[in-house]
């Protein structure tokens, strides 16, 4: 896995990990907005993105390096995410691809995810973000 260094300087004078965490929170807000508009597949996608970016924020804080992977399990191992949260995020692995490209036979992503999926994924994302927030 190739590692790249993060430039700690940015125009908002925030630490890079803070930017990643802020974006994770914004993605969770977008997941909620998508849920409310009944775009459940989009809500699922944004929940996955919130988890991924929050995990990366803590990795960046700890290592000053960005891990260039979308694999939530790999990212979770790098920060010692508690096992119960690792088990939960397994259900989000692959969602970022399935919700955009996952046409399975006659089922498009917009029809493959429902309100229950959306709510469950948002709850998982919220739980992960709360755990990450305590660490940063």
pLDDT digits (tens, 9 = 90+) for 80-113: 999 999 999 999 888 887 777 766 677 888 898 9
CB 48 within 8 A of CB 92: yes
Residue 4: which pLDDT band, with cuts at 50, 70 and 90? very low
Task: Give the fold, CATH level 3, of 3-135.
Answer: 1.20.120
Is the model's pLDDT at 35 over the cut of 60?
Answer: yes
pTM: 0.86
DSSP 8-state class, residue 4: E
Dihedral angle over CA of 9, 10, 12, 14, nearest 10:
-50
pLDDT tens per residue, range 115-134: 999 999 999 999 999 999 99
CB 41 within 8 A of CB 109: yes
Number of helices (H), then strands (E), belonging to the chain: the values are 7, 2
Name the β-bridge partners of 65.
Answer: 5
Is the model's pLDDT at 43 over the cut of 80?
Answer: yes
């Amino acid at each position: 896995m190739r590692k790249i260094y993060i430039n700690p300087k940015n125009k908002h004078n925030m630490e890079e990990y803070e930017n990643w965490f802020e974006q994770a929170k914004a993605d969770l807000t977008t997941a909620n907005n998508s849920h409310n508009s009944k775009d459940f597949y989009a809500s699922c996608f944004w929940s996955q993105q919130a988890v991924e970016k929050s995990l990366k924020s803590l990795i960046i804080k700890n290592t000053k390096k960005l891990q260039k992977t979308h694999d939530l399990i790999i990212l979770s191992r790098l920060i010692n995410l508690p096992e119960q949260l690792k088990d939960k995020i397994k259900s989000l692995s692959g969602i970022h691809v399935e919700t955009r490209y996952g046409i399975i036979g006659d089922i498009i992503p917009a029809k493959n995810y429902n309100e229950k999926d959306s709510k469950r994924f948002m709850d998982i994302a919220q739980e992960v973000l709360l755990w990450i927030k305590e660490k940063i």
